[in-house]
Amino acid sequence: MQDWRWMTAADLGRAIGAGEIDPIALAEVYLDAIDAHEHRDRIYARVTHDRARAEAKAASERARAGMRRSALDGVPVSWKDLFDTAGVATEAGTALMEGRVPDTDAEVLQNATAAGLVCLGKTHMSEIAFSGLGLNPITATPPCVNDPDAVPGGSSSGAAASVAFGLAAAGIGSDTGGSVRIPSAWNDLVGLKTTHARLSLEGVVPLCLTFDTVGPLCRSVEDAGLLLAALEGSRAVDLAGSSLEGVRLMVLDTIAPDDVRDAPRAAFDGAVARLQAAGAVIEHRYFSQLFDAFNVAGNLYAADSYGWWRDRVEAHPEKMFPQILERVRGGKTVSGPDYCAGWNLLRDIRKQYAAETAQFDAVIMPTAAILPPDAARLLSDDDYYKTENLLALRNTRIANLMDVCSVTLPTGVPSCGIMFNGRNGTEAALLRLAAAAERALG
């Protein structure tokens, strides 16, 4: 039964449908594994034993009656600790929200529950989701599956760790500048960043409401498609027959390849060669306007986050990790006219980017320019923290700035992902392409 912990969510769902796995037994395997794991309290902020058992029991009854609600009915997943859960604390990784207990579930959690998914609990995260590293000395820093001394990536750090360590079939996270894709890449998972506003943010503690998105961290592209359907209450994309033959992929030569370290660069080059061997057409292109987008991004992120968090932050700044406090306080000095002008510019750049990339099926780049940094050094060296955090999120942030969907896939090299950026609202096409790429990458 322990093998169940390493199966894809889709395979678990199929086994439940075939009567080979009882959701009750499956939930107990995960709950037992969580409670016995040496990193339990570094990965899970709260484990919802009673809810998981009740939902598994209902899923088991539906399966026996032939009334399963979805392909993932009865499959246990984890939830990042910024998704509201009725009657269970949701604290967003910060002491500023300690003891906050919502009355209702977030809308995406309601949808997932309606599809029959089983909630295992809430996972740790970067404080208020404002870091791509996953370091959180305020609550907990989850481990990286490939390096016990390194951070796991953030801000959906515990979400990734819960899957990578076999303590959930999938994790649900959020992505504002890379927070699904960085921890997915560093823990050898598939991570899907959805188009902004594709999935509901109702009941999700915000970081930047103009950039926040919801997405899954999982073991396969098929899982990502099924989870997307569950989160929005839709039909999953059909991945059958997908191919890379004749697919046009644009390697972005602006910003994304700069300062990429040796291992991620070699992993990306190797992955591109395999995609090309599978029939993909690879072209290199430059998009100079991306520099202008990056130049205004800091003001937009900081002002948005500070606008929502200001009262809590200024009431108790001493409760925050200084690196996160400094980042969110950066919004203090952004003027209204500068904020509006920045958004006007970014909207224009998005139109130009859409036109420049329209002829391609996806834009590709290394998911992260760096490997997971050392956790102890991040705590002791402020300059190192800033450098590594900015480099970690640099490539992923392109999709958030351009407002497109994006998926990261493992390359086969530990903690090195390859990212495929699609177009706005084209998750189905992107997932079909990613399924073909997944096969080519092995």
pLDDT (0 to 100) of residue 214 = 98
Question: Quick one: tokens of 106?
Answer: 């977030």
For 377, list phi and psi in degrees, rounded to 5.
-70, -35
Domains of the chain as residue ranges with CATH: 2-232 (3.90.1300.10), 248-290+334-441 (3.90.1300.10)
For the segment 2-45, what is each residue's pLDDT rounded down to a tens digit?
A: 599 999 999 999 999 999 999 999 999 999 999 999 999 999 99
Neighbours of 123 (CB within 10 A): 34
Residues carrying an active site annotation: 80, 155, 179
* Residue 307 and residue 211 in contact, taking contact as beta carbons nearer than 8 Å: no
For 154, list phi and psi in degrees, rounded to 5.
-145, 180
pLDDT (0 to 100) of residue 2 = 59
pLDDT (0 to 100) of residue 332 = 97
Neighbours of 383 (CB within 10 A): 7
**Cα–Cα distance measured from residue 165 to residue 74, given in angstroms and rounded to the nearest whole number:** 20
Look at residue 78 and give its three-state secondary structure: strand
pLDDT (0 to 100) of residue 156 = 98
Give the bridge partners for 248, in sequence order. 281
Per residue of the chain (442 residues), give pLDDT as tens: 559 999 999 999 999 999 999 999 999 999 999 999 999 999 999 999 999 999 999 999 999 999 999 999 999 999 999 999 999 999 999 999 999 999 999 999 999 999 999 999 999 999 999 999 999 999 999 999 999 999 999 999 999 999 999 999 999 999 999 999 999 999 999 999 999 999 999 999 999 999 999 999 999 999 999 999 999 999 999 999 999 999 999 999 999 999 999 999 999 999 999 999 999 999 999 999 999 999 999 999 999 999 999 999 999 999 999 999 999 999 999 999 999 999 999 999 999 999 999 999 999 999 999 999 999 999 999 999 999 999 999 999 999 999 999 999 999 999 999 999 999 999 999 999 999 999 999 9
The residue to which tokens 């030569």 are assigned: 253
pLDDT (0 to 100) of residue 309 = 98
**How far apart, in Å, are the Cα atoms of 93 and each of 83, 88, 179, 260?**
11, 14, 14, 30
pTM for this prediction: 0.98
**Cα–Cα distance measured from residue 191 to residue 154, given in angstroms and rounded to the nearest whole number:** 12
Query: Which residue, among 82, 123, 85, has the nearest Cα to 104 in the 3D structure?
Result: 85
Question: Quick one: tokens of 363?
Answer: 């834009």
* Residue 122 and residue 88 in contact, taking contact as beta carbons nearer than 8 Å: yes
Look at residue 328 and give its three-state secondary structure: helix
pLDDT (0 to 100) of residue 175 = 98
